[in-house]
Amino acid sequence: MSRYGLIAGSGRFPLLALESARTLGHDVAVVAIREEASPEVERLAPGCHWISLGQLGRLIDILKQEGVAEVMMAGQVKHARIFSSIRPDWRLVQVLAKLRQKNTEGLIGAVAAVLRSEGIALVDSTALLKPLLADEGPLSGRKPGREEAANIAYGRRIANALAASDVGQSVAVSERACVAVEAMEGTDAMLRRAAALVNGRALVLVKVARRRGHLLFDVPVAGLDTISVMQETGTTALAVDAGRTLLLDRDQMLARAAEADIAVVGCPPEGPRPLPARAGGADPDSREPLGERRTLREE
98 band by pLDDT with thresholds 50, 70 and 90: confident
Q: Distance between CA 62 and CA 40 in Å, rounded?
A: 20
Confidence at residue 246, expressed as pLDDT on a 0 to 100 scale: 92
In this prediction, residues 98-109 reach a mean pLDDT of: 75
| Beta pairing partners, 28 | 4
Residue 134 and residue 243 in contact, taking contact as beta carbons nearer than 8 Å? yes
User: Looking at 148-157, 210-219, 252-261, which range is the least confident one?
Assistant: 210-219
Confidence at residue 88, expressed as pLDDT on a 0 to 100 scale: 85
Domains in the chain: boundaries: 3-122, 133-281
In this prediction, residues 80-88 reach a mean pLDDT of: 66
Same topology, domains 3-122 and 133-281? Answer is: no
Q: 133-281 architecture in CATH?
A: 3-Layer(aba) Sandwich (3.40)
216 band by pLDDT with thresholds 50, 70 and 90: low
In this prediction, residues 217-228 reach a mean pLDDT of: 89
Q: What percent of the chain has pLDDT over 90?
A: 53
Confidence at residue 285, expressed as pLDDT on a 0 to 100 scale: 40
Residue 43 and residue 82 in contact, taking contact as beta carbons nearer than 8 Å? no
Q: Could you confirm whether domain 3-122 is CATH 3.40.50.20?
A: yes
User: How far is Cα of residue 26 from the mean position of the Cα atoms in its chain?
Assistant: 23
Confidence at residue 48, expressed as pLDDT on a 0 to 100 scale: 94
Residue 5 in this model has a pLDDT that exceeds 80: yes
Confidence at residue 194, expressed as pLDDT on a 0 to 100 scale: 98
Q: Distance between CA 200 and CA 67 in Å, rounded?
A: 54
In this prediction, residues 32-54 reach a mean pLDDT of: 91
User: Looking at 119-133, 208-222, 273-287, which range is the least confident one?
Assistant: 273-287
Count Cα neighbours of 134 within 13 Å in the Cβ-side half-sphere: 30
Q: pLDDT: is 35 or 292 the higher one?
A: 35
Confidence at residue 130, expressed as pLDDT on a 0 to 100 scale: 87
- Tell me the one-letter amino acid at 219: V
Residue 16 in this model has a pLDDT that exceeds 70: yes
| Beta pairing partners, 235 | 203
Q: Distance between CA 261 and CA 235 in Å, rounded?
A: 10
C-alpha distances out from residue 214 to 12, 18, 217, Å = 20, 21, 6
Residue 265 in this model has a pLDDT that exceeds 90: yes
